[in-house]
Every structure is written in C-alpha cells, then in structure tokens.
Amino acid sequence: MKDITVGDIVKFVPYYASSGMQGGSLKLQMPKYESLAIVYKTYVIRGVGHAHVMLPSRKKKVIGFAGLEMVCRL
C-alpha cells in the first residue's frame, strides 16, 4: 500500500483497473484531473486505501490510492 498520509500534496496518475467478466482483464484508467491536490483524510476499506482530497478549486473528492502519487509532504 502507498504511504499517503494527511497533509500530503499529491498528483493524479494513470492506473490499471480490473474489468470484464470476473475481472479477467485490465484496463488503463486515465486521471480525471490535471492538477495537484492536498489530502485531508485517509482510510482503508477491505485492503484498498482511499483518500479525501481537496482540489485547487476547493472541490472535495474521494480517490483510491492507485490513482495518486505523492509529490511532497507538509
């Protein structure tokens, strides 16, 4: 699992997600946002990490750790 904590500055990166019948194939998911974001909450559900992030426009989104990469830590 990635080492993403509260206060990190993150960027959005492409990642592979399972698709097809019973997750038999992988599909490349491109990032939805082209900006940086700050993490204000993290948690794990069934082994999958999630982060609540705030975008520069002050919108709040929940993103899985697979689609995030840490840029720096505050």
- Local confidence pLDDT in tens for the 74 residues of the chain: 688 999 999 999 999 988 888 878 999 999 989 999 999 999 999 988 999 999 999 999 999 999 999 999 98
- pLDDT value for 67: 92
Cβ pair 50, 65 in contact under 8 A? yes
Judge if pTM exceeds 0.75. yes
How far apart, in whole angstroms, are the C-alpha atoms of residue 15 and residue 6?
22
- What type of residue sits at position 58? R
